Structure 1
Amino acid sequence: MDTRPSSYYHRTPAKLINWWFAVAAAMGKSPLDLSESGLLAAARAETGLRRFGSEHFLQGLRILLRSLDEEAELNAFGRLNARKRILRPLKNRLWANECYERNPEIKDIPIRMPIIIIGPHRSGTTRLQRMLALDSRLQHLKSWEGHNPAPRLGSRDKGRGERHREVEKFLAIGKRMYPDVFTAHPMNADWAEEENLLLNLSFCGFSPIGLFNIPSYFRWFMQSDKTASYQDMANLMRLISWSRESTQKRWILKNPNHLLELPTLMRTFPDARIIFTHRDPIKTVGSIMSLMWHTSVQHSDLPSRARVRDVWGTYSEEAARRFVRDRKEIPAHQMIDVQYSDMNQNWKKSIRRIYEFLEIDLTPNVERDMESWLHESDVKGTHGRHHYSLEDFGTSEDEVDDMMSFVRREFAIPRE
Structure 2
Amino acid sequence: MNTLPLPVRILNLAGRSAEAVGWQPVSLDFDKLLNKARDNTGLNDFGEDDFRDPLKLLLSGLETEAKLSTLGRVVARSDLLRTLENRLGLVELLRKHPEIEEQTVERPLFVVGPPRSGTTIFHDLLAMDADNRVPLSWEAAYPLPPPETSTYNSDPRISRVQADLDNVDKLLPDFKKMHPMGAQRAQECVAITSHDFASMIYYVQFDVPTYDRWVMDHDMRSALKWHRRFLQVLQWKCPGKRWALKSPQHMWHLAHIHQEYPDALFVQTHRDPVNTVISMSNLAAELQGMNSDHADQRRIAMHYAAGLAKGYNATVDYRSSGALLDSQVVDLYFRDFIQDQVGTVSRAYEHFGLTLTPVAAASMQSFLDDNPADKHGKHLYTFQDTGLDEEALRAMFSKYESYFDIPRETLRAG
TM-score normalised by L of structure 1? 0.89
Query: Residue 288 of structure 2 aligns with which residue?
Result: 296
Distance 2:305 2:401 in 1: 16
Counterparts in 2 of 1:305 and 1:164: CA distance versus 1, 3 Å: same
Distance 1:384 1:402 in 2: 33
Matches for 1:14-413 after TM superposition, within 5 Å: 16-23=13-20, 30-151=24-145, 161-244=155-238, 246=239, 249-302=241-294, 304-328=296-320, 329-378=323-372, 381-382=374-375, 384-413=377-406
Amino acid at match of 2:16: W
Alignment size in residue pairs? 394
Q: Check the 8 A contact 1:285/1:312 in 2, yes or no.
A: yes
CA offsets 1:363-410 (integer angstroms, 9 cap, x no match)? 2111111222212212x8447532111212212444433332332222
Q: Which has the higher helix share?
A: 1
Q: Check the 8 A contact 1:96/1:151 in 2, yes or no.
A: no
CA offsets 1:92-137 (integer angstroms, 9 cap, x no match)? 1011112101110101110000011111000001111111111101
How much has 1:84 moved relative to structure 2?
0.9
What stretches of structure 2 of length at least 5 have no aligned partner? 1-9, 410-414
Distance 1:323 1:131 in 2: 24
Q: Check the 8 A contact 2:127/2:186 in 1, yes or no.
A: yes
Distance 1:322 1:314 in 2: 13
Distance 2:172 2:319 in 1: 35
Which one is further off, 393-402 or 89-98? 393-402
Amino acid at match of 2:73: R
Amino acid at match of 1:286: I
Q: Check the 8 A contact 2:89/2:144 in 1, yes or no.
A: yes
Distance 1:271 1:34 in 2: 40
How much has 1:268 moved relative to structure 2?
1.0
Distance 2:378 2:14 in 1: 30
What stretches of structure 1 of length at least 5 have no aligned partner? 1-12
CA offsets 1:122-163 (integer angstroms, 9 cap, x no match)? 00011111111111012101011111223279xxx89x8453
Amino acid at match of 2:92: E
Which one is further off, 321-330 or 284-293? 321-330
How much has 1:237 moved relative to structure 2?
0.4
How much has 1:15 moved relative to structure 2?
8.9
Counterparts in 2 of 1:56 and 1:334: CA distance versus 1, 3 Å: same
Counterparts in 2 of 1:345 and 1:233: CA distance versus 1, 3 Å: same
Amino acid at match of 1:389: T
SS at match of 1:338: strand
> Percent of aligned positions with the same letter in both sequences?
31
How much has 1:306 moved relative to structure 2?
2.9
Distance 2:262 2:126 in 1: 21
CA offsets 1:7-35 (integer angstroms, 9 cap, x no match)? xxxxxx8795453413357xxx5311111
SS at match of 1:235: helix
Q: Check the 8 A contact 1:74/1:301 in 2, yes or no.
A: yes
Amino acid at match of 2:268: F
Q: Check the 8 A contact 1:377/1:383 in 2, yes or no.
A: no
TM-score normalised by L of structure 2? 0.89
Counterparts in 2 of 1:384 and 1:117: CA distance versus 1, 3 Å: farther
